[in-house]
A and B are shown apart, each in its own frame.
Chain A
Amino acid sequence: MSKKLLIRVFLVGIIASIVIGPFTSHVEAASWTVNSQGDCSGDRPKGSSWLNWEGYPSSSIGKTWGSLWFYNGSAWQRRTSGYTQYGPRSEGLAIVNLNINYQVGYWQETGAHQSNFFSGTVNTYGNVFTCPV
């Protein structure tokens, strides 16, 4: 291969990367979601809170604190809680799964989430549910 041909291939490569580059980054757009949910299954209150992300730098870390709350007729009491951290990864799932022996009444799952790709703390709230159903 001649030097001229090599230079041509190199230039075409640079031009192609400039043209295609923006489309590629668009396709790989970064996104994250957070959520909490709870239900009563098998007569056990269960709750999950999670932070899901993709398309971020490989140094990305996600953290989730989950809590399962019980209403005793006059107070919301935290009955169980958990914490998880996931990463560093460009995509990941930091999820806390909770369950506990049931007590008749209302229950709710909540989550608090942090990461190094968004600022501050984000709370999530599951639906209020009864157990047993």
Chain B
Amino acid sequence: MVTKLRFLGSLVLMAILLSLVATSVASGVINVRNPEAVKKGPVIAPPPLIPPGQMGYANWRSDKAIAAPDGRSVAQLAQPPVSITQAIATNFPDIRPEQDATTVSYTILASVRYTGNGHTVLVTTARPSPAAAQETAVFGNKTVKLVDGSTAWVTTGIPGDIPNQVVLVKDNLIITVAGDLPLNDLQTLAGDIAIK
């Protein structure tokens, strides 16, 4: 009797472990690591996850809450400072289906562009493909803590008009706050992100 109970117990334990593994794979948890912690082994540096160029943006009335027409997730500044809200524009790219399951890619779901006082700030929402989510990715050159306590990765000196960026992972999405503002200002903004 005792042996049977032990056997049943181990079966139940195994089933729980298998379901946990299946859940983590199915939810597509992003395998992101701090740059300081990855000392050995294969790693990828994803590109800045912003739409290249300034194409595809449409003006958005600043008194209207930002939302995608098809209901996709849109990261945005919860309380954007007046200094960068002289104009707001949104970009919701036409999402194309993945070519195959093994492609490493990052789909841009949305990009919100805030401009003011000669500065530009982009807040973009990206989703990794299953293959990209599995690879060990490093999203910046330094790990920081934001004002809301979340972890983020920062990079400066990126070639082009948008040299600084702060990347964080929220709700299994990759949020990029990029712009030509000083890094400290971008970090402050990144601590005030809402996903709608």
| Seed contacts A81-B44, A125-B158; 15 additional CB < 8 Å A-B pairs | A65-B44, A67-B44, A69-B47, A72-B96, A76-B46, A76-B47, A76-B105, A76-B106, A76-B108, A77-B104, A78-B132, A112-B45, A120-B36, A121-B39, A127-B160
**Lowest 10 CB-CB distances: which A-B pairs, in order?**
A74-B93, A123-B45, A106-B52, A127-B159, A77-B105, A78-B104, A110-B45, A75-B107, A120-B36, A112-B45
Number of interface residues of B (CB under 8 A): 38
For window 40-63 of chain B, which residues contact chain A by CB distance below 8 Å? 40, 42-49, 51-53
Cβ contact of A125, chosen from B36, B45, B108, B129, cutoff 8 A: B45
- Chain B positions within 8 Å of A125 at CB level: 45, 47-48, 155, 158-159
State the CA gap A110–B158 with chains docked (Å): 11
Report which of A72, A77, A124 forms a contact with B45, defined as CB distance below 8 A. A124
In the complex with contacts A120-B35, A125-B48, A74-B42 CB distance below 8 A? no
For chain B, residues 76 to 110, give those with C-beta under 8 angstroms from any C-beta of chain A. 93-96, 99, 103-108
Contact of B45 with A119 in the complex, beta carbons under 8 Å: no
Question: Which residues in B have their C-beta under 8 angstroms from that of A74?
Answer: 93-96, 107-108
Nearest-CB distance from A129 to chain B (Å)? 9
Question: Which residue of the partner chain, among A65, A71, A78, contacts B43 with CB atoms under 8 Å?
Answer: A65
**Known interface pairs A75-B105, A75-B106, A76-B46. Does A121 touch B96 (Cβ–Cβ under 8 Å)?**
no
| Chain A 106-133 interface 0/1 with B at a Cβ cutoff of 8 Å (1 = within) | 1010111010000111111111100000
Question: Which residues of A pack against B, CB within 8 Å?
Answer: 65, 67, 69, 71-78, 81, 83, 106, 108, 110-112, 114, 119-128
Partner of B40, one of A73, A114, A128: A114
Q: Is the CB of B42 within 8 A of A110?
A: no
